[in-house]
Amino acid sequence: MAKRNPHLAKLQSGYLFPEINRRKKEFLAAHPQAKLISLGIGDTTQPIAPPIIKGIVQAVKRLGKRDTYTGYGDEQGITELRERIASVLYHGRVKGEEVFVSDGAKPDTGRLQMLFGSDTVMAVQDPSYPVYVDSSVMMGQTGPLSSKTSQFKGIAYLPCTPDNGFFPSLGNAKDAGVIFFCSPNNPTGAVATREQLKALVDFAKENRSIIIFDAAYSQFIRDENLPRSIYEIPGAKEVALEVSSFSKSIGFTGVRLGWTVVPNELCFDDGTPVRKDWNRIMTTVFNGASSIAQYGGIAALEREGMKEMERTVSYYMENASIIRQALRKLGYTVFGGDNAPYLWVQTKGMTSWDAFSFLLQKAHVITTPGSGFGPSGEGFLRFSAFGHREDVLEAVKRLEKIL
Ligand SMILES: *Cc1c(COP(=O)(O)O)cnc(C)c1O
């Protein structure tokens, strides 16, 4: 008999997006003519830019010829891509050998759990991207202590609210071996300042914790004073690894390409270099990112590719600005959306789900209820800027009519 991994039973059922879909279907069954617009998605909609497509197409063509065909590559990624990520995106702050190319930040986050096992307390921002909590629970950080609380044994929640400027009090992370930290943040759109990240790095050093810094949205930072990488903070290489991705910046959500930086300096408390174990894990359970995707990544980091990346990001950030201005005019308190593609909107006293349903019923606009990202998300809606411009404009028009 095959026994089920008991930790899987402790996962709170994937509630958020299935419930959104259920309510959407129910609404469409009653109103088949309604044209729904989604400002809820965390997926990109703009096509991949021509110079990047060219890199991909050339790689495909090489695979079709005997002389240029290649099979397995290094599990860690093509050297040219690793070097280019280090020089172009990190300005030499990290070395190519410290960059591990992968099929994305989310699968890396899951695999990173193997570094720590089930005895390590994981601290997460609340609200947060659900993968940090769910992958921890799968490892054995045990389930909810009671049905009334979403505090998990083995998972420390760090509330991020308007009151603390969305930067948590780190005292709650005292017992944490690992601190997940996402900036620019999904879902709140908050970006940590240099001083805040310095406090985080100092805390991790003092507390002997390791930070897993999720920089998937770093390219969306417009303000040059805000740090795009944890490694802009002196000493961060001793306490932090960084996961990142091409998904959102160049529309590679379907192509799949990301990376994790594991600095040579980063060690477990027994002195073992984390990089050694990460290399072991990746060479065991991962066989390298698609070479086609990697050549797309290489093209994206050339001059023309970088220009296109900037253009794509700017398009989404204009969407964010349109949504933000409209909601503010309507009297809503709106956070985020200036250096991140998400807006975090206070619902004027409604619960997140009531506000979600209200906008669905009255404006036929889909958003994402903040409470789905953690208890501190209650009373907020997440608006995403990843739509087509005409949809964003139409959604805003509808909101102005009903609010
Ligand atoms: C979209 C997203 C990612 C990207 O994941 P990929 O697997 O690279 O597509 C990572 N972290 C956060 C917080 C995200 O929202």
Write the single-letter amino acid at 389.
R
Nearest-atom number in ligand 1 for the CA of 108 is 7
Q: Which domain CATH number covers 338?
A: 3.90.1150.10
How far is Cα 328 from Cα 175, in angstroms, rounded to an integer?
A: 40
Tell me the CA–centroid distance for residue 108 and ligand 1, in Å.
10
Across all residues in the chain, what is the average pLDDT?
95
Which residue's CA is the nearest one to ligand 1's atom 14?
A: 216
Q: Would you state the pLDDT for residue 153?
A: 75
- Based on the fold, state whether residues 255 and 386 are members of the same structural domain: no
User: Which residues constitute the domain of residue 91?
Assistant: 53-303
What pLDDT band is residue 9 in, cutting at 50, 70 and 90?
confident
Q: Is this structure's pTM higher than 0.95? A: yes
- Based on the fold, state whether residues 141 and 248 are members of the same structural domain: yes
CB under 8 Å to 18, separation ≥6 — which residues?
none
Tell me the CA–centroid distance for residue 214 and ligand 1, in Å.
8
How far is Cα 274 from Cα 285, in angstroms, rounded to an integer?
A: 17
Please check whether residue 2 lies inside any domain of the structure. no
Which residue's CA is the nearest one to ligand 1's atom 12?
A: 216
Q: Which domain CATH number covers 299?
A: 3.40.640.10
- Based on the fold, state whether residues 108 and 251 are members of the same structural domain: yes
- Based on the fold, state whether residues 311 and 218 are members of the same structural domain: no
- Based on the fold, state whether residues 315 and 166 are members of the same structural domain: no
What pLDDT band is residue 148 in, cutting at 50, 70 and 90?
low
Q: How many domains does the chain have?
A: 2
Which residue's CA is the nearest one to ligand 1's atom 2?
A: 216
Q: Would you state the pLDDT for residue 152?
A: 64
Tell me the CA–centroid distance for residue 246 and ligand 1, in Å.
9
Please check whether residue 210 lies inside any domain of the structure. yes
Mutate which of 41, 103, 106 for ligand 1? The one with the most ligand atoms within 8 Å of its CB, which is 106
Q: What is the pLDDT of residues 223-278, one digit of tens each?
A: 999 999 999 999 999 999 999 999 999 999 999 999 999 999 999 999 999 999 99
Please check whether residue 9 lies inside any domain of the structure. no
DSSP lists the bridge partners of residue 99 as 261
- Based on the fold, state whether residues 221 and 94 are members of the same structural domain: yes
Write the single-letter amino acid at 139.
M
- Based on the fold, state whether residues 270 and 350 are members of the same structural domain: no
Domain boundary among 303, 319, 339: 303
Please check whether residue 321 lies inside any domain of the structure. yes
What does each C-alpha distance from 189 to 65, 219, 341 come to in angstroms?
Answer: 46, 13, 7
Q: Would you state the pLDDT for residue 147?
A: 52
Provide the percentage of residues in the chain whose pLDDT is more than 70. 97
- Would you say residue 146 has pLDDT above 70? no
129 in contact with ligand 1, CB cutoff 6 A: yes
- Would you say residue 143 has pLDDT above 60? no
Q: What is the pLDDT of residues 149-186, one digit of tens each?
A: 555 679 999 999 999 999 999 999 999 999 999 999 99
- Based on the fold, state whether residues 154 and 292 are members of the same structural domain: yes
How far is Cα 37 from Cα 337, in angstroms, rounded to an integer?
A: 19
- Based on the fold, state whether residues 346 and 268 are members of the same structural domain: no
106 in contact with ligand 1, CB cutoff 6 A: yes
- Would you say residue 207 has pLDDT above 90? yes
